[in-house]
Chain A
Amino acid sequence: MNNYSINIKPFGKRAILIEWPKQVNESILEDILDFSNSFQNLNLPNWEMSAAYNSLTMVNNIEDVEFKEMEQLIQDCYSKRTASGTKIQRYLWRIPVCYDAVFATDMEEVSKSLKISTEKLIALHTSSQYTVYGIGFLPGFMYLGGLPTELEITRRAEPRLSVKKGSVGLAGKQTGIYPQDSPGGWNIIGSCPIPIFDSKLENPCFVNVGDKIQFYKISKAEYDLRKIETEVGIYKLEKTPLNA
C-alpha cells in the first residue's frame, strides 16, 4: 500500500478536505478510496465522504468539528491502515451508446475538427475503459478519465441552454453522460438510453467512484428497445467485477 504525503485542511466548521498529490492517477484514487473505507470502518457517526480525483471531502452533517483533534485522527487512520482491510468490490460497467445522427448533434463538427472519420471516432470512444474519478456537478454525473488523446477537443464556444438527458459528450480530456437535461458546453456525439441516476430506485446511481465504464455502440432500433426496457424495469445492466 502507498503512503502519500497528504494535506489535511479545515473546510468551514463542519468539513475537512484531504488532498493527495495533484495528479490524475489511478493509484492515488485507489489510495483515497482505501483510506475512505478505513475511516468509515471507525464508525464515527454523521460523517459523509466524497472522493474526486486527488481529494476527499469529509462532511459532518450534525455538529462542528474540532479540527486539530480530527487532523490527528485522520493522520493516524491514514498511516496505520492495514492492507488486509476489506476491499470494496469495483465493477466495469458496459454502457450502450447510440451514435446515430439523431442524437449526435456535434458529430460532424467534431469529426471535421479532429480530422478523423465518424467510424474511427466511435471505434476510439468505445475502445477505452474509463475510470470514474468523481461523481458531482449534477446527480449521477461521472467525471471519466482515460479518454484517447485523439478525441480531445475544446468545449463549444457557446454552451447550449439545454442538453438532453442521456447525451454523451466530449470536452477537453473528458467524456461523460448528462444524467438529466442541463445547460452545457460539451460536444455531443451520442446518447445513452440507460438512466445513470434515478431517485426512485433504492440505489439511485449504480456507479461508484473507482468503477470503470466502457461504452459500446448500438443502433437506433436497439436504443429504442433499451429505453423501453429501462422504463418498464426489465433492463439488466452489464457489469464485470474488477480485479476478481
Chain B
Amino acid sequence: MLKVLKSGFFLTVQDLGRLGNRHIGVPISGVLDSISVKRANQMLGNNANDAVLEITMTGPTLQFEAAAYICLSGAQFSATLNNKPIENHQVVKVSQGDILSYGRLESGFRNYLAVKGGFKTTKVLGSRSQYFPVTEKKCRKDGDEIPFDETVMFEPPISEVKTKNHFERDYLEVYRGPEYNMLSDKQLASLFAKPFTVSKANNRMAYQLSELIEGHESSMLTSGTLPGTVQFTPAGRLIILMKDGQTTGGYPRILQLSEEAICVLAQKKFGDTLTFKLL
C-alpha cells in the first residue's frame, strides 16, 4: 500500500481512461498529460494503461508500505525521498517505510507518480480513473491507502533520461472544429492574433480562457464533444473541454486541440498565456 500522509491540492488515480461509455454520457477521464505518463510507464517497463497518481498544483506526502520502483514525470516539483532530492524521469528504488515528499511546484501544473506494475485500485467500468460519481470518490484524502504490488528487484532498461518538456511551449496546436466556418473574419483575427490567458476556472473538466472575443447568436442542437473541444459561448468566451469534460454540449465547437496540445494545456495554470496555432 501507499499511504497518503498529506494529499495536497488534488490527488487522483488515473489510467488512460474509461472507453466505450460515451453513449451513456460517461466522460473518458484518464491522465490529462498522456505524454508524461507514457514516459514514466515506459521507464518502469509498465503497460501503457497502468494506473498512476495525478498530482495537481501542490504535492502530497506519501509513505510506501512495501518496496517499489517509482518514476516521476510531468510538472517539476522539488521532490525528495527521505529528504534526498529526486528528479523526474529517473527510476528510483524505494524501500518499505520511505517517505516521498513533493515540495514546491517549480514548473508545469501536474506531476505523475508511476510505480512498477501500476496502482491496483478497483476498476469501475473497465478503468481505474477517478471520476465522481462513476467512482465512489472524487479524489484521494489524507490517510487513504492506495494498493500496489511490491517489487523488490527490477533492472530498468534505462535509469534516467533528460528530455525537454513538451509543456514549455506557449501555443496549442488545433484543428478546425465542426463549427469553425461560423467564425467571421473579425472573430478569426482575434482568435489567432493574440494570446489567451488561463482563467481561475480550470480543472479536469474544462479550462476557461479569460479573454472574450466577439460573441455570436447562432444556436445549434446538442451534439458530441471530445476532450480538447474548444466551445464558443454566445458571450464570446472560449471553454476548452478536458478529459473529465461532458460528452455532449450545445455550444459551437470552433476548434479541436490535438492530443499533444491537451498535454500542453494540462500543464498550464491560472495566469499562463497561450496562442492557438492552426494545423
Listed in ascending order, the chain A residues whose CB lies under 8 Å from chain B are 9-15, 17, 19, 22, 24, 48-57, 59, 61, 133-141, 143, 180, 197, 199-200, 204-205, 208-209
Is A12 a contact partner of B226 (Cβ separation < 8 A)? yes
Is A11 a contact partner of B25 (Cβ separation < 8 A)? no
Query: B257 to chain A: which residues have CB within 8 Å?
Result: 12
Is A59 a contact partner of B223 (Cβ separation < 8 A)? no
Asked if B228 lies at the interface with its beta carbon under 8 angstroms from chain A, I say: yes
Is A49 a contact partner of B23 (Cβ separation < 8 A)? yes
Asked if B248 lies at the interface with its beta carbon under 8 angstroms from chain A, I say: yes
Stretch from B14-22, B97-105, B146-154 that touches the partner: B14-22
DSSP class of A's interface residues: helix, strand, loop or mixed?
loop
Greatest chain A CB density within 10 A among B23, B228, B256 is at: B23
Contact of B256 (CB < 8 Å), options: A11, A55, A197: A11
Contact of B23 (CB < 8 Å), options: A15, A19, A48, A61: A48
Is A55 a contact partner of B24 (Cβ separation < 8 A)? no
Residues of B within 8 A of A (CB-CB), count:
34
Contact of A137 (CB < 8 Å), options: B22, B25, B134: B25
Listed in ascending order, the chain B residues whose CB lies under 8 Å from chain A are 19-27, 124-125, 133-135, 175-178, 220-224, 226, 228, 246-249, 253, 256-259
Closest 10 CB pairs of A and B: A57-B224, A136-B248, A12-B256, A205-B24, A53-B221, A55-B223, A50-B22, A199-B134, A136-B25, A50-B23
Complex Cα distance, B224 from A54, in Å, reads: 10
Is A12 a contact partner of B133 (Cβ separation < 8 A)? no
Is A50 a contact partner of B247 (Cβ separation < 8 A)? yes
Q: A12-B175, A138-B25 are in contact. Are A57 and B221 (CB under 8 A)?
A: no
B231 CB, min distance to chain A CBs, angstroms: 13
Query: A13 to chain B: which residues have CB within 8 Å?
Result: 175, 258-259
Query: A48 to chain B: which residues have CB within 8 Å?
Result: 19-20, 22-23
A22 CB, min distance to chain B CBs, angstroms: 6
Complex Cα distance, B26 from A220, in Å, reads: 31
Is B19 a contact partner of A55 (Cβ separation < 8 A)? no
Is A57 a contact partner of B26 (Cβ separation < 8 A)? no
Is A22 a contact partner of B25 (Cβ separation < 8 A)? no
Q: A61-B19, A199-B124, A204-B125 are in contact. Are A17 and B224 (CB under 8 A)?
A: yes
Closest A residue to B223 by CB, please name it.
Answer: A55
Complex Cα distance, B22 from A135, in Å, reads: 9
